Amino acid sequence: MEINILIVDDNYDNLKTLGFLIESIKFEKENNINVIKADNGQTALDIAIKKELALIILDIQMPQMNGFEVATYLQKTSKTKNIPIIFLTAAFKSQKMRDRGLHIGAVDYLFKPIDMTILTPKIKHYIDFFVITHELIDINKQLELKVKKAIEENSLIETRLHQSEKLAAMGEMIGNIAHQWRQPIAIISMWANNIIADVDIDEVDNKTLKNYAQKINEQTKHLSQTIDDFRNFFSPNKESITFILENSIDKTINLLSASFQTHNIKIIKDIKYIEIFAVENELTQVVLNLFKNSKDILITLPREEKKLIFINGYQENNNVILEIIDNGGGVDNKIIDKIFEPYFTTKDKSQGTGIGLYMAQSIIVRDFSGTLFIENVDYIYEDKNYSGAKFIIKIPLKNK
């Protein structure tokens, strides 16, 4: 795989030195690391638009267009907004400037002269992040090929709709995972740098090292769990298993947590201990669709308003009841009876297919012998009145 790293500095000697240092790094995986140089901001922007970049190392103090301005332009463009940026500066060393750089969207802010013991692990982390993201994209392509083959072998419209909706969810989730991985990677990098710094000043002991290692291990487990949840959700396995309802809901929330945090959506969960014998990833897809439906309504609310999603799970007689409630104002009574119809949507065609809720209801009826319906509700939360839509899933409990 070809991996491009863009370095930007108006000083030719700095470019040459940094390029040489990066090219001398020994990476664990066999990848073609290509260092691209730019001596001004405009050239850097042109390269970022034309090339796929894994990382940008950006000098701040440059004539005509400084590093902050370059980063701002990159953040405004869809093709470049997710490229990790590391600021490198000799002049702007104040905390205020550092905060400004991180606020613009940089993942790190380092000082000249270059300390490769600090820069090297950071570069390796973001290269690994780039490679893993592409592996997820490859998984997506492989699943698309499998879906295409399944459609050719089976002309049933239900199968087409089911797989199409799952792929639509996948595209959004890959973006969520990429966003979700940034913070743990940054934390791992920070603790690794702390170890290096302590070793350099000879103030490290076994207890401190163990503490650092445990914190790094916690973050790597989080990264690994995210991928496991992603793979389980898109597994073609249709075998019924016994699973705990709350654990299944937690995995679904984990897949969407980055998106919820980005849009300041608060999840309030009250799930009782219930064991279910069914196809778990089918229920996950239903809950995912309902969460996404609520999220799409909530992000249209004014920024200052609270955005809430409640999920309640409990047993009633011999049925599992799962409720998902938002505070998006509810559904117009003129159309509430139509929202489970195929291809019916209140969104622009570019934002929705109109089959998500239809498929969710079809799965509950077909695979769980249950029901899914909606009603508008008014309620009080933290002494404030809210109104919204309430989706109710009712599933008969089955014995293994």
For residue 352, pLDDT beyond 60: no
Examine the domain organization and report whether 204 and 320 are in the same domain.
no
For residue 326, pLDDT beyond 70: yes
Count how many domains the chain has: 3
Distance from C-alpha of 312 to C-alpha of 289, rounded to nearest angstrom: 16
For residue 21, pLDDT beyond 80: yes
Mean of the per-residue pLDDT values for the chain? Answer: 81
For residue 14, pLDDT beyond 70: yes
For residue 43, pLDDT beyond 70: yes
Examine the domain organization and report whether 247 and 366 are in the same domain.
yes
Note down the domain range covering 163: 118-233
Examine the domain organization and report whether 214 and 350 are in the same domain.
no
Examine the domain organization and report whether 69 and 166 are in the same domain.
no
Examine the domain organization and report whether 266 and 361 are in the same domain.
yes
The residue among 134, 123, 111, 116 whose CA lies nearest residue 55 is 123
pLDDT category at 292 given cuts 50, 70, 90 is: confident
From 114, 135, 151, give the residue that closes a domain.
114
Least confident of 27-31, 34-38, 258-262: 27-31
Average pLDDT over residues 317-336: 92
Instruction: Tell me the whole-structure pTM to 2 decimals.
Output: 0.49
Q: How many Å separate Cα 214 from the centre of its chain?
A: 24
DSSP state letters, 97-134: HHHHHHHHT-SEEEESSP-HHHHHHHHHHHHHHHHHHH
Distance from C-alpha of 77 to C-alpha of 259, rounded to nearest angstrom: 19
* Exposed / middle / buried, residue 384 (Cβ in 10 Å: 0-12, 13-18, 19+): exposed
Q: Under a CB-based contact definition with an 8 Å cutoff, are residues 101 and 87 in contact?
A: yes
Examine the domain organization and report whether 26 and 153 are in the same domain.
no
Q: What is the pLDDT of residues 108-145, one digit of tens each?
A: 888 888 888 888 888 888 888 888 888 888 888 888 88
Q: At what angle do helices 157-200 and 116-153 cross, to 10 degrees?
A: 170
Examine the domain organization and report whether 261 and 381 are in the same domain.
yes
CATH code of the domain in which 384 resides: 3.30.565.10
The residue among 368, 381, 351, 344 whose CA lies nearest residue 287 is 368
From 67, 95, 114, give the residue that closes a domain.
114
Pairing status of strand 275-278 against strand 265-271: unpaired
Tell me what percent of the residues of the chain surpass a pLDDT of 90: 25
For residue 17, pLDDT beyond 60: yes
Residue scoring higher pLDDT (178 or 319): 319
Tell me what percent of the residues of the chain surpass a pLDDT of 70: 81
Examine the domain organization and report whether 104 and 204 are in the same domain.
no
- Look at residue 316 in the predicted model and tell me its pLDDT: 93
Who's near 155: CB < 8 A, 6+ residues apart? none
Q: What is the pLDDT of residues 200-223, one digit of tens each?
A: 777 767 777 787 777 777 777 766
Q: Which helix (H) or strand (E) holds 358?
A: helix 356-368
CATH code of the domain in which 80 resides: 3.40.50.2300
Examine the domain organization and report whether 123 and 100 are in the same domain.
no
- Look at residue 350 in the predicted model and tell me its pLDDT: 42
Q: Under a CB-based contact definition with an 8 Å cutoff, are residues 59 and 89 in contact?
A: yes
Examine the domain organization and report whether 264 and 176 are in the same domain.
no
